[in-house]
Amino acid sequence: MTLTEDAPAARDRRPALTAENLVVEFPAGRGQKVHAVSGVGLEVPAGQTLGILGESGCGKSTVGRSLIQLPPPDSGTVRLGDVTLTGLAPRELRRARARMQIIMQDPVSALNPRRRVKDLVWEGPSIWGAGDDPRDKDARVDAALRDVGLDPATVRDRRPHELSGGQCQRVCIARALMLDPEVLICDEPVSSLDVSVQAQILNLLETTARRRSLSMVFIAHDVSVVKNISDRVMVMYLGKVCEVLPSDGMQHEALHPYTRLLLASLPEVRLGSAGTAGPAAAGPVTDGPAAELPSPLNPPSGCRFRTRCPLATERCATEEPAPREVRPGHQVACHHAEPRRNHP
């Protein structure tokens, strides 16, 4: 079916953001390369939030930046709605990319220290030729600041160093929303904030996404944060996707040993029935060198998690596991993970 303006139902079924076979590598000198992202694919349905979860160095932030083409991936495709971003000419890319905004990890560094809050928030509309009427500008900036829980009269004329970390992150969110984006990429937006402020920012993001029907990609290493804000969770390890599953019941449905390892790091999570680990968590991850993340300069052959996996066999060293669907909406890349018939 051809998408036209007379086919709103078809547009509603189209994913807001799609990526296929993303590959990102960085030169490391002496002919070596950092294999940051290796063949990652994802899909973000309209109005939903995809969480990307993994420990530091797994490539999740690189995926987020490649989605918005900062920088573009070495190979693979990214589609925003019906527009393929990869391969676009700079002028067309700049125009299309206005529909997708990113919130950086460090809110203070993301803001120009020499500019006032009102100018920082208005930066996007100003670049895209919004009217110069100062009354319209002030009204729109004030409305954006109120939407993120800031008092315009208090913060409008301040500079970033006069604000707290939480206030700076709210300014970043207000600035990102000024262009009315369809997709919001949040790259660890609360990792540098106090726990009490984290909850406020997460509630703000969740409320804003629901009110504006935004699609979000939420990147973090905190399992509980990703689980609570996301509709689906994509777990990454060393540049590869391990598992994609719904966030609801994640602690019972997770099959990949790495996902279950992350869930076991939460004191309140009890895996399996009667507080026992299921088949995919048969044994602890060993301590010592084998428990360290392998180097992305020379990742392990086959399954990249095999050097830390309690279920690893010789097959895992020679054959890379392909993602397979174990139930609708749940994919896992593991030779040995099998769905459990009964769970709480």
Q: Which of 7-21, 166-180, 187-201, 250-264 is least confident?
A: 7-21
End residue of a domain, out of 164, 179, 194: 179
My answer on whether 251 and 126 are in the same domain is: no
- So what's the pLDDT on residue 63? 96
What is the CATH number for 205? Answer: 3.40.50.300
How many CA atoms within 13 Å lie on the side-chain side of 180? 4
My answer on whether 219 and 86 are in the same domain is: yes
My answer on whether 300 and 213 are in the same domain is: yes
Percent of the chain with pLDDT over 70: 87
CB neighbours of residue 26 within 10 Å: 14
319 token code pair: 């054959």
My answer on whether 152 and 203 are in the same domain is: no
Residue 2 lies in a domain: no
Residue 121 lies in a domain: yes
Contact 272, 255 (CB under 8 A): no
198 token code pair: 């984290």
End residue of a domain, out of 148, 179, 210: 179
My answer on whether 205 and 215 are in the same domain is: yes
CA separation for the pair 121, 176 (Å, rounded)? 8
The neighbouring-strand residues paired with 327 are 330
The band of 226, judged by pLDDT with boundaries at 50, 70 and 90, is very high
- So what's the pLDDT on residue 283? 40
- So what's the pLDDT on residue 294? 87
Domain count, the chain: 2
The band of 272, judged by pLDDT with boundaries at 50, 70 and 90, is low
What mean pLDDT is reported for the chain? 86
Residue 10 lies in a domain: no
174 token code pair: 């207000």
The band of 184, judged by pLDDT with boundaries at 50, 70 and 90, is very high
Helix (H), strand (E) at residue 136:
helix 134-147
Is residue 261 pLDDT above 70, yes or no?
A: yes
pTM, entire model: 0.86
- Of 184 and 14, more confident: 184
86 — alpha (psi -120 to 50), left (phi > 0) or beta?
beta
pLDDT tens-digit map of 107-134 = 889 999 999 999 999 999 988 877 667 7
CA separation for the pair 170, 251 (Å, rounded)? 31
CA separation for the pair 112, 126 (Å, rounded)? 15
CA distances (Å), origin 137, targets 31, 38, 99, 140, 183: 51, 44, 20, 5, 24
Phi and psi at 62, nearest 5°, equal -65, -35
CA distances (Å), origin 148, targets 49, 202, 206, 214: 19, 11, 12, 15
Q: Which domain holds residue 172?
A: 113-179
- So what's the pLDDT on residue 176? 94
- So what's the pLDDT on residue 30? 85
Residue 154 lies in a domain: yes
Q: Which of 2-16, 26-40, 168-182 is least confident?
A: 2-16
My answer on whether 72 and 144 are in the same domain is: no
- Of 157 and 286, more confident: 157
pLDDT tens-digit map of 74-88 = 999 999 999 999 989
Average pLDDT in the 301-310 region? 93
Residues 6+ apart with CB under 8 A from 198: 190, 225
**Cis amide prior to 344 (ω within 30 degrees):** no
- So what's the pLDDT on residue 270? 53
- So what's the pLDDT on residue 271? 58
My answer on whether 77 and 225 are in the same domain is: yes
Residue 104 lies in a domain: no
My answer on whether 238 and 164 are in the same domain is: no
Percent of the chain with pLDDT over 90: 67
My answer on whether 52 and 196 are in the same domain is: yes
Listed residue (304, 265, 272) closest to 59, CA to CA: 304
Using CA atoms of 12, 101, 44, 217 in order, give the dihedral in degrees to the nearest 10: -140
Place of tokens 């996707």: 241
CA separation for the pair 37, 58 (Å, rounded)? 8
Is residue 287 pLDDT above 80, yes or no?
A: no
Contact 239, 40 (CB under 8 A): yes
CA separation for the pair 214, 330 (Å, rounded)? 23
Is residue 238 pLDDT above 80, yes or no?
A: yes
CB neighbours of residue 29 within 10 Å: 6
Residue 35 lies in a domain: yes
How many CA atoms within 13 Å lie on the side-chain side of 167? 14
Write the DSSP symbol of residue 285.
Answer: P
Residue 29 lies in a domain: yes
For the chain, give me the number of helices (H) and strands (E)?
Answer: 13, 12
My answer on whether 138 and 199 are in the same domain is: no
My answer on whether 265 and 158 are in the same domain is: no
End residue of a domain, out of 129, 164, 179: 179
Listed residue (223, 230, 225) closest to 251, CA to CA: 223
CA separation for the pair 76, 84 (Å, rounded)? 11
My answer on whether 320 and 256 are in the same domain is: yes
Residue 126 lies in a domain: yes
